[in-house]
Amino acid sequence: MMTRNFEKRDFKRWFFYMDVLVLGVFALALVMLVRDAYAAGFYEAVAATDFYGTHFWAMVRDVAFLVAALSWIFYRYFKTTVRTLADPWT
């Protein structure tokens, strides 16, 4: 049985894949938030409260995904920035 030792470049590759995935989730959640906000506003204007409630809760779901994605993006950005500022000559 072979075991593989993970190196620093392997972790960098996996974090890169996760970053791309999180950016995709962010973009999709942003598009869905705009769509659900439009639909919720439309159904509120025509007084269709059932559809309004459905789209309003979908907006809450989209905001939750946006917050999670932005948290990951800011964490990775500031972690990289702090590491660069700590040793700027590397």
Q: Determine the pLDDT at residue 80.
A: 86
Instruction: Tell whether 11 is covered by a domain.
Output: no
Instruction: Tell whether 10 is covered by a domain.
Output: no
Residue of higher predicted confidence among 6 and 64: 64
Checking if the pLDDT of 2 tops 80, the result is: no
Instruction: Tell whether 6 is covered by a domain.
Output: no
Q: Where are the beta strands (DSSP E) in the chain?
A: none
Indicate the pTM of the whole model.
0.81
DSSP 5: -
Instruction: Tell whether 4 is covered by a domain.
Output: no
Instruction: Tell whether 9 is covered by a domain.
Output: no
Element (H, E) at 49: helix 49-86
Q: How many structural domains does the chain have?
A: 1
Instruction: Tell whether 3 is covered by a domain.
Output: no
pLDDT tens column, 3-62: 678 788 888 899 999 999 999 999 999 999 999 999 999 999 998 888 999 999 999 999
Domain limits for position 44: 16-86
Q: Determine the pLDDT at residue 90.
A: 65
What average pLDDT does range 70-86 have in this prediction?
92
